[in-house]
Amino acid sequence: MPNTFEAKSSHNQLHDINEALGSGQTELAKEMLHQLQPGDLALLLESSRSRNRLDIWQLIQPDLYSDVLEELSDDVRNGIIRKMLPEKVADALEEMDTDNLVDTLRGLPQEVAQNLLAAMDEQDRSRAELGLSYGEETAGFIMNTDAITLRPGINVDVILRYLRLKGDMPEHTDTLYVVDRDYRLMGGVALTRLITAAAATPIESLMKTSEAIPASMMDNEVASLFERYNWLSAPVVDENNQLLGRITIDDVVDIIREDAEHSMMSMAGLDDEEDTFAPVIKSTQRRSIWLGVNLLTALMAAAVSDLFEAALSQLAVLAILNTIVPSMGGVAGNQTLTLVIRGMALGHVNSANARWLISKELAIGFLNGVIWSVLIASVIAIWKQDLMLGAVIAFAMLINMIAAGLAGASLPIIMKKLKIDPALAGSVILTTITDVVGIFAFLGSATWLLI
């Protein structure tokens, strides 16, 4: 049966610990923290105000530092590391898996990272430098170097005695990799086959060819391969087929979660590692850039409306109806944009089918334009008793829906070729296009036909 404190929600845990710290009951707070698992401690730190985190961190058992740091978001983790002595951080990082170690070092200022590398022992420094030598979001960056390797020419009995002597195996080990004298990957032996085979069975008869992942492969492609082939782990090799390490399913789950968070936060112009409880000035600075971009795009749409100031002053009804066409185009375009970005993330959209996809979305935009232009024309003609006004807004709706389909399908493809994240900037550019085209089509045709 779980103790009382463990059964409480994270909200109550945080309240109780803060209350204990505020009243000077440090030993009580420490006792509460000692009852929590690393994941719970990380959640507690991320849920605390930035000024209280160091107080909580100093009460956590030092032998849990490594596990807790692995669970923290980049912003919170880096904030804590900057306040620790390099020797203490180096001790904590020693116990980290290679992928988490590399990710932690990459997120720190260069000077801090260099000081930490200098404080590490040679083995930890070499595995960190190997991961750091590969680009972020590549297989080499996220791999672990803890793969168990075997040499050909031995039998099952020798391997099992070796494993018993070794003791613990790395987490999520389902395959042992066979390499030659130059450490080139020859194949893999499934752990389930190994423990059920006869002791005299040679390793070659159990070995199967392993699908290896190049160290330069992007992490989203790695995630797609794991999903497609239902892997639990996979070896990572360099350009000479030399074994570097392995990627496991827990790494892939992290990639999928981070990609989902990145897409969600990018649509609002935020960093996916944004600290909810960061200081006011820091949060304001981060958000101001995106707000500035949005202001510029809004001014562009306003400038188009300004071109037709005379028409708006003569027919007040145009000002009333002016928001309908851009709004419909924006919604339709974002539907297409989201669908194409998702298809690209899953590997469904590529250069072979991109042209067909754009043609399809153009056709959908045209059909939607016809349907909704007829509907809005009927509504406006009845409401305002003006057939020509209904025809004008119908024409603008048709044009903008076609533009929305074209922009929503083509923008992510173009932006990817330009190495711009479509999840980050696609929505803003699309909204600008649909606003400008919608306003220009509506007010332009109204000026021509009604004034």
Question: What pLDDT tens digit does each residue of the chain (451 aa) get?
Answer: 344 444 455 567 767 877 787 777 888 888 888 888 888 888 888 888 887 888 889 889 988 988 898 888 888 888 888 888 777 887 888 778 888 888 888 878 788 788 888 888 888 888 888 888 888 889 999 999 889 999 999 999 999 998 998 888 888 899 999 999 999 999 999 999 999 999 999 999 999 988 999 999 999 889 989 988 999 999 999 999 999 999 999 989 888 887 777 777 766 666 655 667 777 787 787 778 778 888 898 899 899 999 998 888 888 889 899 999 999 999 999 999 989 988 887 778 888 899 999 999 999 999 999 999 999 999 999 999 999 999 999 999 999 999 999 999 999 999 989 988 887 788 889 999 999 999 999 999 999 988 7
Q: Which amino acid is at 73?
A: S
The residue written with tokens 């339709």 in the block is: 332
Q: Cα dist. 55→35, 83, 87, 158 in Å?
A: 17, 11, 19, 51
Domains and CATH numbers, the chain: 5-133 (1.25.60.10), 149-249 (3.10.580.10), 280-450 (1.10.357.20)
Alpha-helix runs per DSSP H in 307-353: 309-314, 316-321, 324-345
Q: Which amino acid is at 186?
A: M
Torsion of CA 83, 85, 90, 96, to 10 degrees: -30
Q: At what angle do helices 10-22 and 38-46 cross, to 10 degrees?
A: 70
**339: helix, strand or coil:** helix
**Max alpha carbon distance in the chain (Å)?**
96
What one-character DSSP code corresponds to residue 244?
E
The values of phi and psi at residue 169, to 5°, are -105, 155
Alpha-helix runs per DSSP H in 385-421: 387-417
d(CA 394, CA 339): 26
d(CA 353, CA 357): 6
Of the candidates 300, 306, 309, which has an alpha carbon nearest to the alpha carbon of residue 428? 300
